[in-house]
Structure 1
Amino acid sequence: MQVLYEDNHIIAVVKPAGVLSQGDKTGDISIFDEIKKYLKEKYKKPGNVFLGLVHRLDRPVSGIMLFAKTSKGASRLSEQFRNREVKKMYHAIVCGNPGKNKGLLTHHVIKDEKLKKARKSEKGEEANLYYEVIKSNGKYSLLKIKIDTGKFHQIRSQLSFAGFPILGDIKYKGEEWEGDKAIALRAAHITFKAATEERMVNLTIDVPEEWQRYIK
C-alpha cells in the first residue's frame, strides 16, 4: 500500500484500480481494510482502530484517497468536502479526440438504480466537467479533468455522453483494454486543509506507466 501523507488526524493513500474503497457484500478486501491493518500494526493498537471514510472512488478507478484517523479529522474533512473546499484533479485516457484543447461539459444526470449507471435526464441535477487535452494521437487522448460536484459516475458518464468514453469503461461504451478490473481514470491530485492547522496539503501522483503505450 502506498501512503502519500500521514499526520495525527489524516492519512492519504493511493487506491489501486480494482480495489474497493470500502468493504461490500462481495467480501473482497478493500483499501479501508488495508489501512486499518496498517495503522494497527504501525502503532501496535490492541483493540479496534478508528478510521473514517469521507469520500469514495469507484472500484475500477485508481488514485488518491483521504481517510480520517480521528473523529476530529473525520469532522474537519467531511466539512471541507461538503463546502467543496477540497480540490481534486483527475487524469483519464479517452477514446478519440475531443476536438478542442479545452472544454466544459454540462449535462443533467440522474442515477439509474436498476442499471446501476448514470443517465441523462431533464429531472437530474446539473453536472459540470472541465477538461484539458494534455496529449492526443487521434485514437486516444490523455485529459486533465476537474469537476465541481461528485455525482454518481459523473466523469465516466459525462465523457461518454460527449462521445469520448474512458478507455476500458465498457459500462459507458469505452473500448476494452488490458487493464484488469480497471478503467483509465485516476484521481491524480488533491488539495485540502490540515485538520488542526492553517496549512494546505497538496498531493500529486503521476500518470501510470501502463497508460503510456496508448498515448505515444
Structure 2
Amino acid sequence: MSKLDILLEDNHLLVVNKPSGMLVQGDETGDVPLSELAKEYLKEKYQKPGNVFVGVVHRLDRPVSGVVLLAKTSKALSRLNEQFSSRKTQKTYWALTQRAPQPEAGTLVHWLIKDAARNVTKALTQEKPGSQRAELSYQLLTSHAGKHLIEVIPITGRPHQIRVQLASLKCPIWGDLKYGAPEPMPNKSICLHARELGFEHPVLKTWITVQAPPPSLPIWQPFQP
C-alpha cells in the first residue's frame, strides 16, 4: 500500500526511514516529496476524505537517508518544533568515508557560511560576519576494505554541517562530490545516514528513540547492525 518505510506511528506522529534521493518537502523541481507521500499514505490507510495534515518537523538533505519525524496534528508539530529549535532532541548519524579520521574521535567547531546560489557551505576556523557556529562530535566505529564508518552527533543543526565538517577533516563522505568525494555513487546518493533520533513524545511526554537501518546498498552491507 505504502511506498514509505515506516518506523513508528501513533495518533500524533509518523516516523519514516527516508531513502536517499527523496525530498522531505517540495521544491522547485516539482518532484513528489516525503510529506506528500505521507499524506497519501494516511489518506488511504484511514480512508480520510479531504485534506490530511502532515507537519514537517525537520529535514534531511535530498541525498541523505534515514530517520525523519513528521507530525500528524498541529499541536504535535508546534511542540516538536520547539524541541528541535531548543536542541532538546538527540540525533546520531552514520557516515562512510574514504579516509579514517585523525584523531579517531573528537569534537569539531567551525563557523559556516552558506553560498545559497551554489548551494554549498564553507567551513571557517574563525567567526566572520554572517557565519553560524557549528559543532559536532564524532568517533570512528569500524573500518572495512578501505571504507570507514564514522558516528556523528551534531550539537548544532546547520545546512550541510556534517558534510562540510567531515570534509574539513579530509574525510569527505562517499559519493559527496560537492565536498570532495572523487566519484559519485551509482544512485547519486551520499553515504550519510540519519541513524537515530531521540525526542520527547509531544503528548505522552515519554522519551522515544527511533533507529533506522542503513540503506540496503552493497557499500553499506559490511556495516549493517
Report TM bin, short chain: over 0.9
Q: Per-residue deviation at 1:138?
A: 7.2
How many corresponding residue pairs?
216
Question: Measured at CA, do residues 214 and 202 of structure 1 come closer, stay the same or move farther in structure 2, by a change above 3 Å?
Answer: closer
Give CA deviations for 1:33-92 in whole Å, capped at 9, x if unaligned. Answer: 110000001111110111111110000000000011001110110011011111110000
Q: Per-residue deviation at 1:106?
A: 1.4
Q: What's 2:189 paired with?
A: 182
Q: What's 2:135 paired with?
A: 128
Q: Per-residue deviation at 1:197?
A: 1.1
What secondary structure does 1:28 align onto? coil
Q: What's 2:215 paired with?
A: 208
Aligned with residue 205 of structure 2, among 191, 198, 201: 198
What CA distance in whole angstroms lies between the structure 1 residues aligned with 2:198 and 2:55?
18
Q: What's 2:172 paired with?
A: 165
What CA distance in whole angstroms lies between the structure 2 residues aligned with 1:183 and 1:214?
17
Q: Per-residue deviation at 1:111?
A: 0.6
Aligned with residue 78 of structure 1, among 73, 76, 81: 81
Paired residues for 1:1-216 under 5 Å: 1-121=4-124, 122-123=127-128, 124-137=131-144, 139-210=146-217, 211-212=219-220
> Are the equivalent residues in 2 in contact too, given 1:95–1:175 (CA < 8 A)?
no
Give CA deviations for 1:109-144 in whole Å, capped at 9, x if unaligned. Answer: 111122211013431222112111111247321011
Normalised by the length of structure 1, the TM-score is 0.94
Moved more, 129-138 or 110-119: 129-138
What CA distance in whole angstroms lies between the structure 2 residues aligned with 1:96 and 1:113?
28
What CA distance in whole angstroms lies between the structure 1 residues aligned with 2:132 and 2:184?
32
> Are the equivalent residues in 1 in contact too, given 2:65–2:215 (CA < 8 A)?
no
Question: Measured at CA, do residues 179 and 200 of structure 1 come closer, stay the same or move farther in structure 2, by a change above 3 Å?
Answer: farther
Question: Measured at CA, do residues 9 and 78 of structure 1 come closer, stay the same or move farther in structure 2, by a change above 3 Å?
Answer: same
Segments of 5+ residues of structure 1 without an aligned counterpart are none
Normalised by the length of structure 2, the TM-score is 0.90
What secondary structure does 1:156 align onto? helix
What CA distance in whole angstroms lies between the structure 2 residues aligned with 1:20 and 1:99?
33
How big is the alpha-carbon RMSD for the aligned residues of Structure 1 and Structure 2?
Answer: 1.7
What secondary structure does 1:18 align onto? coil
What CA distance in whole angstroms lies between the structure 2 residues aligned with 1:169 and 1:185?
9
Q: Per-residue deviation at 1:16?
A: 0.4
Moved more, 124-133 or 153-162: 124-133
> Are the equivalent residues in 1 in contact too, given 2:102–2:169 (CA < 8 A)?
no
> Are the equivalent residues in 1 in contact too, given 2:12–2:76 (CA < 8 A)?
yes
Segments of 5+ residues of structure 2 without an aligned counterpart are none
> Are the equivalent residues in 1 in contact too, given 2:66–2:214 (CA < 8 A)?
no
Question: Measured at CA, do residues 4 and 213 of structure 1 come closer, stay the same or move farther in structure 2, by a change above 3 Å?
Answer: closer
Q: Per-residue deviation at 1:198?
A: 2.3
